[in-house]
Copies of this chain bind each other. A is one copy, B any other.
């Protein structure tokens, strides 16, 4: 191990949602304590953490106290304000490091980074002004998707354009903030790779999963993805390229479009990823433990899949079907402890074992 955290160390996690909760559970399995930092009250992760700080990302004192009480800091989401990072980093290491955050927080920065590595993305154009908008509509055209450069997730902050004429209304709808117009890809499949890199530079990938979205939210991930072995190899190699280029430490989710000719990168997320939840019931060491291992200076798991898995998110009222789901003993159930059921809210997920390998 490279400078491993001592037994009984505390891992600080920014964000108390379900990803923070599952990271905390994984850290507990390895004997670590966790401390959650989250502005919202009673977040899901607080129920399983050793300590919780409820404070805003603008609260410098709270950030400093938090950083002093933990041994390493990680996060469950990429939209952490830069000022908060500045404060935290003066006291404690934040992993993955901010270059990965800076890259993925801005869609344009991300695409330019990927292109520089020789990787392919969908056709796109930057929109800061109305002139940019006209130029983007001329080059990228329609059908396409307009997305805010920052702060988008689960289909939020994006609008589809059927025709070029929809462009102005779309930009208005998005508040005329800086956006990117992305050409709609005629893809055969969307797959994702969950990769990990640790402090010694070991890189490991889980098998690519095949994703289906519903209303802009991930619906299912099916593993293994139905792709060719050369596509699988390409997906893993490009993941390694990205992780190494960023000198990355932790788990990253990479969403890819598989077209007839090539793999295009849709987006990268510098964190554990919904499309990696299948690993909880498909691998000895899952994505959450892999992330904790990486940031703690441990060796990584090998990503080997012992079972084929179909992961399905439980959105909103779907969580009420647990009675029926729990009758199927090939299903691993994972619920997030959210008391209020809202439409579109991720309440849990299930992993159905399809076959053992």
Shortest distance between the CB of A117 and any CB in chain B (Å): 28
**A interface, how many residues as a size bin?**
35 or more
A51-87 Cβ-contact flags toward B at 8 Å (1 or 0): 0000000000000000000000000000000000000
Measured between beta carbons, the chain B residues less than 8 angstroms from A50 are: 46-48
Tell me how many chains of this kind the complex includes: 2
Measured between beta carbons, the chain B residues less than 8 angstroms from A298 are: 322, 326
A197-222 Cβ-contact flags toward B at 8 Å (1 or 0): 00000000000000000000000000
**Partner of A30 from B4, B33, B285, B333 at Cβ < 8 Å:** B333
**Which residues between 11 and 39 of chain A lie within 8 Å of chain B, taking CB atoms?**
21, 24-25, 28-34
Does A323 sit at the interface, judged by CB under 8 A?
Answer: yes
A6, closest chain B residue (CB)? B339
If A33-B47, A335-B30 touch, whether A304 touches B326 (CB-CB below 8 Å) is no
Shortest distance between the CB of A76 and any CB in chain B (Å): 15
Q: Show the binding face of A for B, using Cβ within 8 Å.
A: 1, 4, 7-8, 21, 24-25, 28-34, 46-50, 281, 284-285, 293, 298-302, 304, 306-307, 319, 322-323, 326-327, 329-339, 348, 351, 353, 356-357
Cβ contacts A to B, 17 pairs, < 8 Å: A1-B323, A1-B326, A8-B337, A8-B338, A24-B48, A29-B333, A29-B335, A31-B335, A33-B47, A48-B48, A284-B353, A298-B326, A300-B329, A304-B329, A304-B330, A306-B307, A356-B357
